[in-house]
Amino acid sequence: MNFEGKKILITGATGGIGNNLVKRFIELKAKVCATGTNSEKLELLKKKYNSVLTKKFSLSEHKKIEEFIEEVDKDLGGLDVLVNNAGVNQDNISLRLSEQDWKKVIDINLTSTFLMSKYSIKKMIKQKKRGKVINITSVVGHTGNFGQSNYSASKAGIIGFSKSLALEYAKKQININCISPGFIKTDMTEKIDQKFRDLIISKIPSGDLGTPEDVSNCAVFLASDMSNYITGETLHVNGGMYMS
């Protein structure tokens, strides 16, 4: 698990999972570019991990994504692994969900994953060596969730997109896989009302929420040479939650 010399781009790097992804790959001596929209949190990442390259960028700016990938590729000296971790939610029951809120979640979660993958894969192919794309989805992309029709649709879309992409680029030695977290201990889940939190935990066979480390460990495996014969798959990190 030595990533020395590997160039890795991580989106959504300032959240709970994203922050841990940066930490793990830095510990394994990878050259990491961390991107997000929160300048203060990016600055904290830089102070914590001196070697990390940080870039403020909004994935909603679709027309600038190709230019952004060009810049990252140049600054890192190549691109071996892309981790599409960024995502947003705009929750409401479907009858109250506006078209604008639907589009916002689909555009950032799904369309941005398509564009980031597209332009990153172009760079990986030019390098003529194996590349990895890891897309962070969600258990609700498999089960659906009350009040999250847009979010669930975006995450389910990423899974189908990844399977198609894996077929298209397998012969180019580009592996595309997903990680589907269940309920993970982050700042967001810490704010959940205790009664609702207890209800969630009661539905998890393992009896507890997962940790960002649980997700990062899977990402490390999928980014490593140990997973070279795995593509088009989804690793479920959910403590055994039922999936239809």
Which has the closest alpha carbon to 51: 80, 30, 66, 75?
30
84 inside domain: yes
**C-alpha span between 114 and 108 (Å, rounded):** 10
177: domain range? Answer: 7-236
If you average pLDDT over residues 77-104, what whole number do you get? 95
243 inside domain: no
244 inside domain: no
1 inside domain: no
Centroid of chain to Cα 7: 16
**C-alpha span between 227 and 150 (Å, rounded):** 31
241 inside domain: no
Read off the pLDDT of residues 115-162 as tens digits, 9 standing for 90 and up. Answer: 999 999 999 999 999 999 999 999 999 988 889 999 999 999 999 999
**C-alpha span between 54 and 65 (Å, rounded):** 16
Q: What is the pTM of this model?
A: 0.95
In the chain, how many domains are there? 1
For the stretch 47-79, what's the b/e string if a residue is b when 16 or more beta carbons lie within 10 angstroms of its beta carbon? eebeebbbeebebeeeeebeebbeebbeebebb
Cα angle value 130/134/136 (rounded, 5°): 180
Which has the closest alpha carbon to 158: 175, 188, 134?
134
Q: What is the CATH number of the domain that holds 62?
A: 3.40.50.720
Read off the pLDDT of residues 10-55 as tens digits, 9 standing for 90 and up. Answer: 999 999 999 999 999 999 999 999 999 999 999 999 999 999 999 9
Instruction: For residue 73, give the DSSP letter.
Output: H
Active site residue 229: no
Q: Do residues 35 and 53 make contact, with C-beta atoms less than 8 angstroms apart? A: no
Which of 151, 169, 229, 242 is the catalytic position? Answer: 151
